[in-house]
Amino acid sequence: MPSHNIFDLTGKVAAIVGSGSGIGEAVALGAARAGARVVSLDIKAEAAENVAAQARAEGCDCTSGALDIRDAAAVETAFQSIASSHGGLDIVVCTPSINVRKKILDYQDDELDRVLDLNLKGNFYVLRSAGRIMTGQRRGSIVLFSSIRSQAVEPGQSVYAATKAGIVQMARTAASEFGPYGVRVNAVGPGVIETPLTAPIKNNPDWFNAYSAKSAMNRWGKAEEMVGPTLFLASDAASFVTGTILFADGGWLAQDGRFTPPGM
């Protein structure tokens, strides 16, 4: 495999789910700029198209569509349509998730359902539908989005953390099942990233600064900084990487962050 083009996505068909904003938007644009034929998918059709239009304005090949990953039939239809119209499906990246920050004793049943339906069931539907196509064509790469919360928690993160740990285990199981067909499945584990979903935290100075201090780099990450790790896993550069999670967390999990000994 020539070393100069292992990160190149030219000619690959990539469906980026959750591309209307935040990390998904950054990844969709990054994949398009790397040469992929991108389909921008989001529950908000207008947002997905805005990103596709930006990519096209840069000379990239990008179309868009609406997709709610909580709808299993819609996921199946969307991916089958992409594979049919583009001659295959090489890359699927799934970024959407939600969090209801509440202590366990305060959690309501409908809130539990909301988080599980999107974060676990939605990702499962994406994994299953993409896997059906990719195992049939005997190639492909699926990248799901987990989190540092799959490993480290704080009060109010019970259900969200459980779903993010579950995503890792789904990715590992899929890697085991799909591997014989030449299909790789991995996860990205972001740290604290500046996106519309984390705006309420950023707007609270104490909370924002505490999260900054926990990172070894003393700052939050940017959505654009998730592009490299994601596209690495999607590309031929990661041809022997499957069943793993790549943490892009600024060193959050590398240190406990509680105390710096004197003289250090």
Catalytic residue positions, numbered: 160
| Residue 245 three-state SS | strand
Q: Are strands 140-145 and 91-94 parallel, antiparallel or unpaired?
A: parallel
Contact 19, 51 (CB under 8 A): yes
Count of other CB atoms within 10 angstroms of residue 22? 19
Alpha-carbon torsion angle 129, 245, 43, 207, nearest 10: 160
3-state helix, strand, coil in the chain (%, to 5): 50, 15, 30
In eight-state DSSP terms, residue 139 is -
At 190 the three-state DSSP class reads strand
Q: Which of 41, 35, 37 is nearest to 96 (CA)?
A: 41
In eight-state DSSP terms, residue 244 is: -
- Cα(89)–Cα(127) distance, rounded to whole angstroms? 13
Phi-psi domain of 88 (left: phi exceeds 0; alpha: psi -120 through 50; beta: other)? left
Strand locations in 33-137 (E): 37-42, 62-66, 91-94
